[in-house]
Amino acid sequence: MQNLTEQLFEKNMALLKSRMSCESFEAMTAFAGVSPVVVENNDDCGNAHYALKGDSRLLLHSRRDPDAEAERQVALWGEKEKVDWAGMIVVSGFAGMHHLKALTKRMLPGSELFVADLFPAAVLEVLKTCHLSCLEKKDIELRFSVSDDFRFVSDEFRWRFMRRKKLNVSFFVHPGCLRAFKKEYDRLSLALIKESRLEGLNRGTKASFSSDWHRNSLKNLPFILNTPGIAPLKGAFKGRSAIVVGAGPSLDDALAYIKKCEDKAVVIAVGTALKSLLKAGIRPDFVVVIEWLPMMLNQFSGLEKADIEGIHLLVEPIVDPRLLEMFEGSMFLFSSKVLCHYNEWLRSIGALPDSLIVGGTVTVTAIDAAIFMGCSELIMVGFDLAFRDDGSTHASFSMYDGVKMEKSNLVEVAGNYGRNVFTKKIFRSYIEVMNAYSRGALKTKRVKFYNAATAGALLDNMKVIHPSQIPELLSSDVLEDKRSFVKGRWDVVDLPDMSQSVEAIDKALKELYELSHLAESAVNVCAIVSESNENLQHSRRLEVELNRLDGEMQKLHIANLLVNDALQATIMGLYSDDEGGALIDQIKKGGDFYMHIKNASNLVIELLIESKRDYLTKKNNL
């Protein structure tokens, strides 16, 4: 028969399993290390938790009254950090669970407690004596991530954090754990904070530019309906090698070696590297572009149709339509998560391309494209993400040729050959994005990464080689007639049916006209209610009408999908605004929001009508 300790442990493990990822739970339970924490019975007040450091034993909690100590420390932390108890609380350090209990007492419905720890054996030891169920609270999400690899924990936190609508997050480091294992918990908490900042940067970028991405995507609808997605390329080069080319300054040192073996690998370039390759007599098989700003067309300025013949563009259709016109008939489209609502509409009409990873730097997308095509050995070239000693930022003949940065404006990062190199702060964040991507890819794919460079920043999970070693890595087998092979994949794709596509556009236009009309009515209602305090006092009938209009607008599923991405900045503003305020001010804000809906609807109507006309013209000219 089981003793009480075994029963408690099994109960705790069952609960923990339901609050962790399968990967995290399996790794924790399989961990064979010795616990750095011991639990001893304390006659005065429950159990005492000690951290073992060499010959020393450090208390993680007060022996006399650990709960009172935890309450006091949590209260001081909450006041100092101005914690939003309805947000996400991230805790580094499980310890004896006293601080976790103090935190959950203060947390409000809709909040989330994310507990991270670097010592699996210590957590397992503590679970023999504590009651994990006391952390469960109605309407509070509870999640754990435990691993001796801080990068694994930060990856899991990222995926949790990305799911939250509001970025109201606070970070608590257990005082006892920090005192006992300062280096480890400092590194963990810093990694988690960095992830939150990266997500904030991503969302800020999305809020700032989503309306432009949305506008371009609507303008590019004729191309979306008339161009293959990347699905025909999935696994097309299974088991082969890819040379993935960025535009860092060390590309200059590798061009001669790429030229020697370009016929033995799939050559995938980012847009900024294209001119450098062409100048060296190298024609990449694919060029990848995700940049949407009109200035990105400078990557292709001066190039004629003959210059890019046989080169296929891999592109997300958020870019300037002029680029798609340039590569028309020689491109494959992909999607990403940046326009999730618009993409849902495309999926509903059978026009959504397969997705690639997009985040921070286009080089990540180029790598993901190579893996999508089945390549198992990836040789990165020009992935410096750092500058030469003279401040040069990019390779010769790229659009940034000749641009130099003053070292006073740069930061130092670890370099490929044992010395630090200089880079921009934004490139430093790109390094972190690249490292997270390669780490994730190695978990799920059988791939090898090589970084062929003479300089540049050190990237995790990639073996550094000199560019002269590139030919040695590649098979002696030549990839016969790659361009004809790719063109053959392009030619056999079934595109969306024209009549069904036109019908879908017409249905969307009908709903958009209705949404615009309803939003205008809601604007008028808000204006009447907020006109005077007297109207505000007798607003019950108008409130009923506003609720009716809201309900009617919510029924227009297609129209809402098509306008939501254009409203991201407005929606993010609503989430970030302080709640409360005078009722009349709230109604005025509501009126402003309905006006945004009306204007967005009218813009989408205009763009859809134009795209429908262009689509029919393209079809009739075939």
- Which of 333, 292, 212, 224 lies closest to 615 in space, CA to CA? 224
Strands (E), 178-273: 241-245, 266-270
Q: Are strands 169-173 and 56-59 parallel, antiparallel or unpaired?
A: unpaired
Q: In terms of DSSP bridges, do strands 56-59 and 47-53 run parallel, antiparallel, or are they unpaired?
A: antiparallel
Residue 190 sits in the same domain as residue 92: yes
482 domain residue, yes or no: no
Alpha-carbon distance 576 to 168, whole Å? 9
Both 292 and 173 in one domain: the answer is no
- How high is the pLDDT of residue 114? 96
CB distance 478 to 263 below 8 Å: yes
pLDDT of residue 582: 55
Choosing from 475, 508, 531, the residue where a domain stops is 475
Average pLDDT over residues 513-540: 78
Q: How many residues does the chain have?
A: 622
Q: Residues 264, 316: one domain?
A: yes
Do residues 422 and 409 lie in contact, with contact meaning Cβ atoms separated by under 8 Å?
A: no
CA–CA dist 126, 135 (Å, integer): 14
Q: Would you say residue 196 lies in a domain?
A: yes
Burial of residue 146 (number of CB atoms within 10 Å: 0-12, 13-18, 19+)? buried
Give how far Cα 611 sits from Cα of 197, 221, 313, 566, Å.
Answer: 37, 6, 21, 17
Query: Are 467 and 578 in the same domain?
Result: no
Q: Which amino acid is at 36?
A: P
* Per-residue pLDDT tens digits for 19-60: 999 888 888 888 877 888 777 766 555 576 777 777 778 878
Do 549 and 576 belong to one domain? yes
Q: Which two tokens stand for residue 416?
A: 């490929």
Burial class of residue 33 in the structure, from the number of CB atoms within 10 Å of its CB (0-12 exposed, 13-18 middle, 19+ buried):
exposed
Domain holding 294, by residue range, is 220-475
Q: Residue 331: what pLDDT?
A: 94
Residue 30: Cβ within 10 Å count: 8
Q: Which residue blocks in 399-424 are alpha helix, DSSP H?
A: none
pLDDT band at 272 (very low <50, low <70, confident <90, very high): very high
- What are the φ/ψ torsions at residue 18 (nearest 5 degrees)? -80, -10
Distance CA 439, CA 367 (A): 13
SS3 at position 391: coil
- Percentage of the chain beyond pLDDT 90 is 54
User: HSE on the CB side for 459, CA within 13 Å?
Assistant: 33
Over range 134-158, report the average pLDDT.
90
Q: For residue 181, is pLDDT > 50?
A: yes
Least confident among 49-63, 151-165, 332-346, 506-520: 49-63
The span from the CA of 301 to the CA of 385, in Å, is 24
pTM: 0.79
Q: Looking at the structure, tell me whether residues 64 and 23 fall in a common domain.
A: yes
Residue 521 has pLDDT above 80, yes or no: yes
| Predicted local distance difference test score (pLDDT) of residue 351 | 95
Alpha-helical segments (H) within 445-497: 470-473, 482-491
Q: Find the DSSP H helices in 350-481.
A: 362-372, 425-444, 470-473
Is the pLDDT at 590 greater than 60? The verdict is: yes
The CA angle 292-574-88, to the nearest 5 degrees, is: 95
- Residue 575: pLDDT over 60: no
CA distance 326 to 305: 7
What's the whole-number mean pLDDT along residues 440-466?
A: 92
232/182 same-domain check: no
Walk across the sheet containing 141-146 and list its strands. Answer: 141-146, 112-117, 88-92, 169-173
Q: What is the pLDDT of residues 224-268, one digit of tens each?
A: 999 999 999 999 999 999 999 999 999 999 999 999 999 999 999
Same domain, 469 and 565: no
Q: What is the pLDDT of residue 536?
A: 56
- Could you tell me if residue 188 is inside a domain? yes
Non-local CB neighbours of 34 within 8 Å, separated by 6+ positions: 121
Closest by CA to 255, choosing from 240, 263, 270, 245, is 245
Give the pairing of strands 141-146 and 112-117: parallel
610 & 519 share domain: yes
Distance of CA 491 to the CA centre of its chain: 33
Q: Is residue 25 part of a domain?
A: yes
- Looking at the 3D structure of the chain, how many domains does it have? 3
| Tokens representing residue 548 in the block | 């009716």
Average pLDDT over residues 2-25: 85
Neighbour count for residue 577 (Cβ, 10 Å): 11
Task: Say how far apart CA 138 and CA 261 lie, in whole Å.
Answer: 62
The verdict on residue 208 lying in a domain is no
More confident residue, 312 or 197: 312
Contacts (Cβ under 8 Å, ≥6 apart) of 560: 341, 515, 553, 554
- What angle, rounded to 10 degrees, do the helices at 150-162 and 182-219 form? 40
| Same domain? 198 vs 227 | no
Among candidate residues 475, 510, 537, the one where a domain is terminated: 475
Of 475, 509, 527, the last residue of a domain is: 475
CATH of the domain at 124: 3.40.50
- 320 and 408, same domain (yes or no): yes
Question: 392 with 511, same domain?
Answer: no
Average pLDDT, the chain: 87
Least confident of 85-99, 382-396, 556-570: 556-570
- Compute the distance between CA of residue 214 and CA of residue 218 in angstroms, rounded to an integer: 6
Residue 215 lies in a domain: no
pLDDT of 1 > 70? The answer is no
Residue 490: inside a domain:
no
**Residue 399 pLDDT more than 90?**
no
**pLDDT at residue 20 in the model:** 92
